[in-house]
């Protein structure tokens, strides 16, 4: 195998994320702007992390470092874990089993994927990037280079929350070392790198905040990004006026994060169908 064949897009993306994370962290820890100009009445500010280090207060810097490490490990876990792939073992071209069809009304039969040739459970979708069908498919995340699905979606939301905390703390730390009442050339030499770091942190914090807010909304209503965007194209949602999987905020959160109450999506869909039919009657 050629050496460059090992450099898949996933390896490059994960390596880039790791290098960027530790690069920004090192700037926040090591950036020193504490020199004084004896001909001026001002001094360069010292970033907060640097002040803590010089004062021997190591608890907060250590906590920040552990949060960065935790977010990076969580990122790698979500990126590398199985998102909930449907079994790809060859299946004979036969009709679904009776017990499967009993859970789902005849109006919404289970589909066979035209790419994998597997019988797709309800809420599953084929990902062309991963070339696999994923249970409770949410989306394919290019920054993770992995799908977000039934197994790793809870970890993805926790990662977003932890990452947002780290980014906001990093923003505060970077801002604590920036002052703009200095000659432009001197300020650019002393604080240019820290200012670029601040801009990067601002951008990433905005993205992480928007993603976290949107996913918390989806989790609270027990829907997915794919279902929210393309409900008009999905057979089991096209004719519905409401989400058949929504069981209220508390139960939705309990099922998403804790797996309770357990049960198949087909059963929930069928129960909602029966409730809708009884209301019409």
Q: Which one is catalytic: 116, 127, 133, 141?
A: 141
What are the residues facing 148 on neighbouring strands?
Answer: 139
Alpha carbon distance 46, 11 (integer Å): 36
Per the annotation, the verdict on 141 as an active-site residue is yes
Alpha carbon distance 198, 31 (integer Å): 12
Asked if 162 contacts 21 with a C-beta cutoff of 8 angstroms, the reply is: no
| Side-chain half-sphere CA neighbours of 226 within 13 A | 22
User: Distance between alpha carbon 65 and the CA centroid of its chain, in Å?
Assistant: 21
What is the set of active-site residues? 141
């Amino acid at each position: 195998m050629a050496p460059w064949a090992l450099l898949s897009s996933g390896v490059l993306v994960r390596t880039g994320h790791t290098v960027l994370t530790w690069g920004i962290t090192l700037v926040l820890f090591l950036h020193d702007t504490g020199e004084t100009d004896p001909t001026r009445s001002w001094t360069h500010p010292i970033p907060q992390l640097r002040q803590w280090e010089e004062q021997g207060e190591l608890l907060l810097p250590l906590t920040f470092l552990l949060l960065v490490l935790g977010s990076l490990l969580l990122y790698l876990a979500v990126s590398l874990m199985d998102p909930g792939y449907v079994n790809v073992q060859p299946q004979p071209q036969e009709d679904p089993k009776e017990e499967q069809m009993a859970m789902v009304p005849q109006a919404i039969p289970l589909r066979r994927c035209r790419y994998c040739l597997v019988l797709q459970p309800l809420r599953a979708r084929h990902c062309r990037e991963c070339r696999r069908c994923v249970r409770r498919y949410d989306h394919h995340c290019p920054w993770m280079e992995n799908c977000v699905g039934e197994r790793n979606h809870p970890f993805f939301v926790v990662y977003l929350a932890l990452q947002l905390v780290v980014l906001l703390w990093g923003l505060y730390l970077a801002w604590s070392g920036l002052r703009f009442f200095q000659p432009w050339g001197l300020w650019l030499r002393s604080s240019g790198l820290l200012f670029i770091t601040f801009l990067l942190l601002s951008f990433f914090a905005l993205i992480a905040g928007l993603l976290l807010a949107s996913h918390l909304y989806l989790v609270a209503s027990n829907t997915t990004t794919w279902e929210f965007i393309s409900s008009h194209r999905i057979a089991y949602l096209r004719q519905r006026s409401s989400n058949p999987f929504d069981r209220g905020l508390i139960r939705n959160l309990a099922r998403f994060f804790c797996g309770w109450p357990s049960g198949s999506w087909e059963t929930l869909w069928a129960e909602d169908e029966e409730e809708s039919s009884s209301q019409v009657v």
